[in-house]
Amino acid sequence: MINQRMYDLGAAPSAIRELFAYGMERKAMIGADKVFDFSIGNPSVPAPEAVRETILKLMDMDPVVLHGYTPASGAPQVRQTIADFIKREYGVPATPGQLYLTAGAAAGIAISLAAICNAGDQVIVPSPFFPEYRIWTEQIGCQLVEVPCLQPSFALDVPAIEAAINEHTSAIIINSPNNPVGSVYTRENLQELAAMLTRKEAELGRAIYIIADEPYRLLTYGADVPYIPCIYPRTIVCYSFSKCLSLPGERIGYIYVSDLMDNARETAIAVAGAGRALGYFCAPALFQYVLQACLELPADVEAYRINRELLTSGLRELGYEFVEPQGAFYLWVKALEPDAKAFSERAKKFELLLVPSDSFGCTGWVRVSYCVSRECIEGSMPAFAALKASYDAE
Ligand code: PLP
């Protein structure tokens, strides 16, 4: 007898994956340059040359060590390097015992949720949100509570988050720079959140964590991205090198349980326990060593900056409404009809693949992933124009 929930998850790919698969088929049919695939967040810039050079150097290492198991939480020297980096970069105390290397932010978030939640607990997420949060939360018998962001700014609605907190709340997931909106929460907004959470913790007599999901931290266009542990001590950072260093297939990232929280050690031990329970131990060893050498490499945001300019100026001229993106590589565009799924379906007729906002827990928008080639953006403009004209003609 199989597990029905697992069967259902396996049988129903996410709307993003479905659209991506449709795009692959369509490209095979009519040619890749005729399909404007904005469906998926796969980085379009290559990983830095230094990554390749590091891999080549690592090939001289004793293969038994290089390809062997590391300790479950990651190689001690790698965790030390990351802790030193966090101390230097953000000015907070950080120790290697509070770090747990993971297969990307996906594993990091699933582990963190399992570490701090008990069945029946609630996890708050500002919406729109990355859809896998729901799956990871429900998998451990907890409930995801969506709190819409303020519009039109898509800032955190702190009073609404406060109203959603109760004696079952154990965490709030904060993703900034944000997928799917491309927004970055301001320091003031995060400080307001932190002050409210501190008050609610005292009132309810229970710990409420922030899980800071940070795969896009370095992808910004001038915005300040505050380091949440500096603002709220009970923070668990889930970092990843998938987007900033263009290494999504290598599955490497880390969890950092802030040293500043009063239960820092117990939380880090629970993280290790959750990693063990979920089978997420000993992150890919080769890439642990790669990131030890490449940790401080900057992200190559230039290609995304150019795409962002091309896309926003083109769509603005055509009369589309969107949220001015401050980070990540997503543009959040208002659908030209209330039903975003119908809008996305119509866009397909013009070979434009746009993800409807229903996948992210809200109606009326589409996400345009602009981690694509420049030619794709330029080539898509007549299609966006024709899509708009089809609505104007009604
Ligand atoms: N969180 C967000 C907001 C994402 O957009 C993604 C991937 O797209 C992830 C987490 C998972 O990333 P990773 O490849 O690091 O597992």
Q: Please write the tens of the pLDDT for every residue from 71-113.
A: 999 999 999 999 999 999 999 999 999 999 999 999 999 999 9
Tell me, yes or no, whether 37 and 86 share the same domain.
no
CATH of residue 338's domain is 3.90.1150.10
133 and 39 in a common domain: no
Whether residue 330 sits in one domain with residue 186? no
pLDDT score for 388: 98
Kindly give the parts of the chain with pLDDT less than 70.
none
- The verdict on the CB of residue 129 being under 6 Å from ligand 1 is no
Domain count, the chain: 2
Specify whether 290 is located in the same domain as 231: yes
Q: 250 and 161 in one domain?
A: yes
Centroid of ligand 1 to alpha carbon of 200 (angstroms):
29
Q: Which atom of ligand 1 has the smallest separation from the CA of 108?
A: 16
- 240 CB within 6 A, ligand 1: yes
Same domain, 268 and 194: yes
Q: Which of 271, 294, 317 is the last residue of a domain?
A: 294
- Helix, strand and coil percent figures for the chain, each rounded to 5: 45, 15, 40
Q: What is the CATH number of the domain that holds 116?
A: 3.40.640.10
In ligand 1, the atom with minimum distance to the C-alpha of 248 is: 14
Say if residue 246 is in the same domain as residue 335.
Answer: no
What is residue 251's three-state secondary structure? coil
Rounded to the nearest whole angstrom, what is the distance from the C-alpha of residue 134 to the centroid of ligand 1? 13
pTM: 0.97
Distance CA 217, CA 223 (A): 10
Same domain, 137 and 186: yes
Q: Quick one: pLDDT at residue 297?
A: 96
Instruction: Pick the last residue of a domain from 294, 320, 350.
Output: 294
Over the stretch 1-56, which tens digit does the pLDDT of each residue have? 999 999 999 998 788 989 999 999 999 999 999 999 999 999 999 999 999 999 99
Alpha-carbon gap, residue 285 to 233, rounded angstroms: 30
Same domain, 331 and 281: no
Q: What is the domain range of residue 341?
A: 4-47+299-392
Task: For residue 240, give the ligand 1 atom closest to its CA.
Answer: 15
Rounded alpha-carbon distances, angstroms, from residue 43 to 46, 245, 254, 261, 354:
8, 9, 19, 34, 17
> Atom 5, ligand 1: which residue's CA is nearest?
179
Q: Are 113 and 283 in contact (CB under 8 A)?
A: no
Q: What is the pLDDT of residue 12?
A: 85
Place of tokens 């890439």: 287
| Final residue in a domain of this structure, among 294, 319, 354 | 294
Buried residues in 2-30 as b, exposed as e (16+ CB within 10 A): eeeeeeeeeeeeebbeebbeebeebeeee
Q: Do 220 and 342 fall within a single domain?
A: no
Q: Report how far residue 297's alpha carbon sits from residue 303's, in angstroms, rounded to the nearest whole number.
A: 16
Q: Is 207 left (phi over 0), alpha (psi -120 to 50) or beta?
A: beta
Looking at residue 15, its pLDDT comes to: 87
**Do residue 352 and residue 331 come from a single domain?**
yes
Cα distance between residue 388 and residue 382, in whole Å: 10
Claim to verify: residue 213 and residue 280 sit in the same structural domain: yes
Residue 155, SS3 per DSSP? coil
